[in-house]
Structure 1
Amino acid sequence: MHLRISLRSVSKALSTASDATTKIPLATATKELASFLRDGGSNITVLTGAGASTDSAIPDYRGENGTYTLNPDYKPVFFQAFVASDEARHRYWARSFLGFPPIMTTEPNPTHYALAALQLPAPVQGPTLNVDNKSKVQGSSKSGYIRNFITQNVDGLHQKAGARNVIELHGTLHQVKCMTCGHEEDRSDFQQVLADLNPEWNDLLQSQSTSRLYTRMNADGDVELKTPEQQQHHQQEHSSMDKRLDYRTFQYPTCSCCGTGHYKPSVVFFGENIPPATKESTSQAILESNGLLVIGSSLATFSAFRLVQLAKQTGIPIALINLGQSRGDALADLRYDENSSLLLKAVAHELGLGDIPGTIKRRKRVMNVVGS
């Protein structure tokens, strides 16, 4: 049995000091990583964490501006509470209602596009990559470098960039599923259901006045709501006459299929079991690969760290790109304390894949839900 559990501080889990702060020149790192990919024989598995999406303005958990860094007291909604508590579901769906729109509209960054290019035998063409290159993939004699992706992220940005064979270790935000009968709905359709049930909240969302209701957005697409007292303080400071809203007033529907069950986002909550099929497929991907490339993950969740341990035990070479300390530093054969977008763009150029699309969007300390 594997639960999604997480260490708030990676450094506390390390018995010795990490060498993560040793900076390797970008040119050297580029040539080393290009050789690592060439040696993989088109059979590299890539494992990505929240750091792969920070250049799309989605915050991470443990980086300089991460959720746990800025708010050490932050507590996500745990699986057991969501299942058992009506109040916990009110809280989650209110937060998710405000936090989902930017996830839905966020674009991949150069890290996602570079990885898609490294998987496909043709240069990346931008957002329509997956459609435009179908014939090229089938008709080309050249193979790419990456076989499989395993991602801890729930944002769907790898697929949006055109990557294939993506295993979502912690599920996806883009669907919801009834906990009673298993009925699934698209999350964007469910967003409209929530909007119809909560017109006052939707009015705020549409008027871009939501910033007074939350302090920041988190990597899993929810926001940290202010209490009614904090909202009142905001009103006093900004002379706002908007109505204060309490998450306990936020309404959510029962299942449209069975009529009694409650929907849950199709993500693996903290404290929830990783599905057995996912656990098996990720392990198999590691065992069948010729190399593991870890990008943007502190590996604080055991569900991801165990895969790096498995690669090490199997004798598979490991390369790791992460800004700051990682739980897997001592296991990596190659370790780069570098921005993944900059390094992977350089590697793609070194391997003759041309220019990589996508822009780097720096996130704000407090993120506007609409128009961010």
Structure 2
Amino acid sequence: MHFKLLNKVIQRYHSFSVQFVPKHNSVSEKDIETLKEFIGNSQKMLVLTGAGISTESGIPDYRSADVGLYDRRNYKPVKHQEFCSSFQIRQRYWARNYIGWPSFSQRQPNNTHYSIKNLETVHNKISIVVTQNVDNLHFKAGSKEVVELHGSAYRVMCLGCKSNYDRGYIQEKLKDTNPNFKEDSGIIRPDGDVEISTERLSEFLPPTCDNCGGILKPDIVFFGDNVPRPRVNLVNENLLEGDSLLILGSSLTVFSAYRIVLKALETNKNVAIVNIGPTRADELVKLKIRVRCGEILPLIC
């Protein structure tokens, strides 16, 4: 089937959100053949994904021109040390997260997530998926081997006794302790929180640990924190055992992702990037395709 006809079929049966997708080039036959050859020549591929693959699911990224959160408004992410040391910061974070959670948790995988799942479970091309995202969409799509580099918004941990909680349980707990706290969800962020008026924040009671009364924090690597060493080691092991690295929807601005590319290049792995905008590694890799991941991947897998 000619790729233009196939693309029309895909668009007809797989709707996607364009609100947070930046302007992008149309996929060409050369793009398809180039990426198809890269994937075809790979036997054990590590796939690294960023916020750009979830924009079609209605979750904005941070840095894309015109539609990313940093580009549209003066957004400052929560820093790890501030969250741990300030009750007001925790109060603000949990209030926003509480309002944003119902919408965030209902987001569903898109063409990219399902294509990655097919590359892993049907075509046996992927050894592991490493994602910078905390939205759980790879698991919802059916991927099996996934490393959540920056953690998951679906888990909550106690900073004191290290107890773990499901985020859905914490939502019910917050609902019980804040029965009159209601706001419109507004724009959802990649980590699930939203904007809330300052006046309302002082009314909100953040959650505490059932076991010790300690501070509860989403199991997410906040800015200023480090990716756990066992997680880094697992990524490096899979990278060294594989033959190629495919980067999808990431600007590679965060060093925890960029160093994976550096490691791949140091060990002579084949590296390809599919991303609409520029990335930190554009000058380092031989193959960069500037198209929407959700448009090109279904045409191949």
TM-score normalised by structure 2 residue count? 0.89
Number of the residue aligned with 2:193:
222
1:168 Cα deviation after fit? 0.4
Aligned partners of 1:51 and 1:322 also within 8 Å = yes
Residue 161 of structure 2 aligns with an amino acid whose one-letter code is C
Number of the residue aligned with 2:106:
105
SS of the counterpart of 1:294?
strand
Structure 1 gap segments, 5+ residues each? 1-20, 122-142, 205-209, 229-245, 349-372
Candidates 275, 294, 301, aligned match of 1:341? 294
Number of the residue aligned with 2:245:
292
Does residue 274 (structure 1) correspond to residue 245 (structure 2)? The answer is: no
Does residue 37 (structure 1) correspond to residue 8 (structure 2)? The answer is: no
Q: Distance in 2 between matches of 1:25 and 1:99?
A: 34
Residue 341 of structure 1 aligns with an amino acid whose one-letter code is G
Candidates 131, 136, 139, aligned match of 1:159? 139
1:227 Cα deviation after fit? 3.1
Instruction: Spell out, residue by residue over 1:24-71, the C-alpha distance to the aligned partner (whole angstroms, 9 max, x if none).
Output: 852111111111111111x01000000010000000001131110001
Q: Distance in 2 between matches of 1:115 and 1:22?
A: 21
Q: Distance in 2 between matches of 1:248 and 1:276?
A: 37
Instruction: Spell out, residue by residue over 1:120-166, the C-alpha distance to the aligned partner (whole angstroms, 9 max, x if none).
Output: 12xxxxxxxxxxxxxxxxxxxxx511111000000000011011110
1:215 Cα deviation after fit? 5.1
Task: Give the structure, 1 or 2, with the largest relative contact order (CA under 8 Å, sep 6 or more).
Answer: 1
Number of the residue aligned with 2:128:
148
1:253 Cα deviation after fit? 2.9
Residue 51 of structure 2 aligns with an amino acid whose one-letter code is A
Q: Distance in 1 between matches of 2:40 and 2:87?
A: 52
Number of the residue aligned with 2:207:
253
1:114 Cα deviation after fit? 0.6
Who wins on radius of gyration, i.e. which is larger?
Answer: 1
Does residue 186 (structure 1) correspond to residue 187 (structure 2)? The answer is: no
Instruction: Spell out, residue by residue over 1:79-116, the C-alpha distance to the aligned partner (whole angstroms, 9 max, x if none).
Output: 10110111111011001001111221111000000110
Structure 2 gap segments, 5+ residues each? 1-22
- CA change 1:191–1:29 in 2 (3 A) is same
Number of the residue aligned with 1:74:
75
SS of the counterpart of 2:152?
strand
Number of the residue aligned with 2:267:
314
Number of the residue aligned with 2:284:
331
The sequence identity of aligned pairs, in percent, is 39
Aligned partners of 1:151 and 1:167 also within 8 Å = yes
Q: Distance in 1 between matches of 2:24 and 2:284?
A: 16
1:34-73 alignment, distance < 5 Å:
34-41=36-43, 43-63=44-64, 64-71=66-73, 73=74
Q: Distance in 2 between matches of 1:105 and 1:25?
A: 29
Q: Distance in 2 between matches of 1:150 and 1:288?
A: 14
Q: Distance in 1 between matches of 2:27 and 2:192?
A: 35
SS of the counterpart of 1:282?
helix
SS of the counterpart of 1:330?
coil
Residue 206 of structure 2 aligns with an amino acid whose one-letter code is Y
Q: Distance in 2 between matches of 1:328 and 1:23?
A: 20
SS of the counterpart of 2:48?
strand
Residue 216 of structure 1 aligns with an amino acid whose one-letter code is I
The RMSD of aligned alpha carbons is: 1.6
Aligned partners of 1:318 and 1:331 also within 8 Å = no
Aligned partners of 2:27 and 2:291 also within 8 Å = no
Count residues with an aligned counterpart. 278
Moved over 3 A (4+): 21-25
Instruction: Spell out, residue by residue over 1:192-220, the C-alpha distance to the aligned partner (whole angstroms, 9 max, x if none).
Output: 0001111111xx3xxxxx33xx6522111
Q: Distance in 2 between matches of 1:185 and 1:25?
A: 43
1:22 Cα deviation after fit? 11
Q: Distance in 2 between matches of 1:292 and 1:67?
A: 27
Q: Distance in 1 between matches of 2:56 and 2:118?
A: 17
